[in-house]
Structures are given as structure tokens and as C-alpha cells.
């Protein structure tokens, strides 16, 4: 629209992509100082109607003093107002583009790890977790249920296209318990069942147990969740009894006390 616009917009093919271009055009076409141009940018970004009326008159007057027709100056101002409403400053846009390029590369070439890392950041937000899990599945990633004998607190990537759900994603569970159970299974082997878990993990309570059973954290020991759920109270009582008797036996150098298993029938869950 005016020859003075070309050096400002040449690198973006005549399009106002950056806020700094809007400011520069205000300077070279409308006669603004750089400070005044920044005030104009701010008014445009905030869509301040009254201020924009005043700035339009200032711009058209300044452009006219530089030989620009009022109709052309009006058109230039309209374009500036349109692009300033959603443009970034150039340094901000460059930084965002660089990060976007890096994350796009990771999403394509290390898909499971990319999604696992993102999931670790939103473990307390179910809606964001669901959106990420849906996107990951659409990109060929498989998920494994939380597993008391495998999972860590955070999400992990056992193989290239598989994410192991972290126990930390289970509502109501606490990190101290998860880390203690992880140390216990590393030191003394995997948990055999919920009775064994209750005997070896003093910090577990009914609410945590219930959440873990519902989430499938004990499926690797027994896939019948209805039975597991019906035996939570028994497991907690048996575990407490094992710890108590183990402490007494140690006084007399007796053998290690095993978990007292007393399974009851449970309703079959669909």
C-alpha cells in the first residue's frame, strides 16, 4: 500500500506477523515515535475502543503529512489493528517456535516418552490426562494399567511404544506409600497378593486399598477385582496381625511369620 512498508514486511512476505512490525509501520508511515508506537500497540492489543479512535486520527494525520492519502492510511491502520490483536513480539514468537519444533520432534521420534513426560506434569488433572491419553493412543501408544509390582510413582516407558501408568495417578494414594512399596518389592521381591501387600506395607488403609483395586493395581496378582475388593478388610486385619506376631516371634528367634490368608467370596465384577 505504501513503499515504506516493504522493508518492514519483506521478511514475512507482506504480512504483519509481529507486533514490532506494527510498531515500525506506525513510525515510518504515521510519524510515531517508538514510545508512541508502543502505546498504540498496547491499545490495539487491549481493543480499547475510545483510545483506538484517538490513535486512528493521529495516525491518519501523521501519514497525511508524509504524503499518504487518507483512504490508504485508513486501510493501513485497519490492517495494523487486525494483526496487532493477535500478533506476538518477534522474540516471543521465535522462542515459542523453537520450543514447538523441539516438542514436535520428540512427539514424532520418541512418542511414548514424550507423552509419559507430559502426563507426569498433569497427574492431578483428570481432564488433561484423558486428553493426553487419547492423543497418545491415536499416535500408536499402548498403555499398561498401574501395577503394584511394576509401576513407579510417575509414568514410565518400559518399551518404545508402551507407557506404564504410574501409581501416582490413582486418586487418593500418597507418594510416601508408593515409594515405600517400591523399595520393599525391590528388597524382598514382588507382592504375592493383597494380604501380602497389607502385611508388608503398614501405611496402607482401606481408602487407598479401594482406589488401588479399582484402578487395577493388583490385577497382576489376581484379575478378579470383585474378590479383591471384598477382601480388603480381611487383608488389613491379617496384615496387622502378621506384623504384630512377627514382632513377638523375633523375641524368641522364631521363624518369619507368613501372611494369614483368609479369603472370602466376592461378587464377580463385569
d(CA 83, CA 28): 17
Along the chain (270 residues), what's the average pLDDT of each consecutive run of 10 residues? Answer: 96 92 95 93 84 93 96 95 84 94 96 96 92 97 96 94 94 92 94 94 92 95 94 92 72 51 84
The pLDDT assigned to 247 comes to: 62
Q: What is the largest CA-CA distance in the chain?
A: 105
Rg (CA), the chain: 32
Among candidates 247, 264, 244, which has minimal Cα distance to 198?
244
The pLDDT assigned to 259 comes to: 54
The pLDDT assigned to 262 comes to: 76
- Asked whether 167 and 120 are in contact (CB, 8 A), the reply is no
* String of DSSP letters for 111-159: HHHHHHHHHHHTTT-HHHHHHHHHHHHHTT-EEE---TTT--SS-EEEE
The pLDDT assigned to 258 comes to: 55
49-65 vs 70-84: helix crossing angle, rounded to 10: 140
Amino acid at each position: 500500500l505504501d513503499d515504506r512498508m516493504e522493508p518492514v514486511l519483506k521478511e514475512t512476505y507482506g504480512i504483519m506477523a509481529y507486533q514490532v512490525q506494527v510498531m515500525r509501520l506506525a513510525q515510518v508511515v504515521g510519524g510515531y515515535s517508538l514510545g508512541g508506537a508502543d502505546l498504540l500497540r498496547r491499545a490495539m492489543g487491549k481493543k480499547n475502543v475510545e483510545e483506538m479512535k484517538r490513535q486512528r486520527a493521529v495516525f491518519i494525520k501523521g501519514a497525511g503529512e508524509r504524503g499518504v492519502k487518507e483512504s490508504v492510511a485508513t486501510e493501513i491502520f485497519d490492517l495494523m489493528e487486525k494483526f496487532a490483536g493477535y500478533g506476538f513480539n518477534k522474540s516471543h514468537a521465535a522462542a515459542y517456535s523453537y520450543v514447538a519444533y523441539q516438542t514436535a520432534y520428540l512427539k514424532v521420534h520418541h512418542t511414548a516418552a514424550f507423552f509419559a513426560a507430559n502426563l507426569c506434569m498433569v497427574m492431578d488433572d483428570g481432564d488433561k490426562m484423558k486428553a493426553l491419553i487419547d492423543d497418545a493412543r491415536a499416535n500408536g501408544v499402548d498403555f499398561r494399567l498401574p501395577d503394584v509390582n511394576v509401576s513407579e510413582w510417575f509414568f514410565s516407558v518400559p518399551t518404545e511404544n508402551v507407557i506404564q501408568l504410574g501409581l501416582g495417578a490413582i486418586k487418593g494414594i500418597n507418594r510416601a506409600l508408593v515409594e515405600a512399596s517400591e523399595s520393599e518389592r525391590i528388597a524382598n521381591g514382588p507382592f504375592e497378593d493383597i494380604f501380602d501387600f497389607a502385611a508388608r506395607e503398614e501405611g496402607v488403609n482401606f481408602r487407598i486399598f479401594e482406589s488401588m483395586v479399582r484402578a487395577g493395581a493388583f490385577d497382576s496378582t489376581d484379575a478378579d477385582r470383585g474378590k479383591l475388593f471384598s477382601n480388603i478388610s480381611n487383608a488389613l486385619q491379617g496384615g496387622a496381625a502378621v506384623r504384630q506376631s512377627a514382632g513377638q516371634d523375633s523375641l524368641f528367634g522364631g521363624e518369619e511369620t507368613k501372611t494369614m490368608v483368609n479369603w472370602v467370596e466376592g461378587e464377580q465384577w463385569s
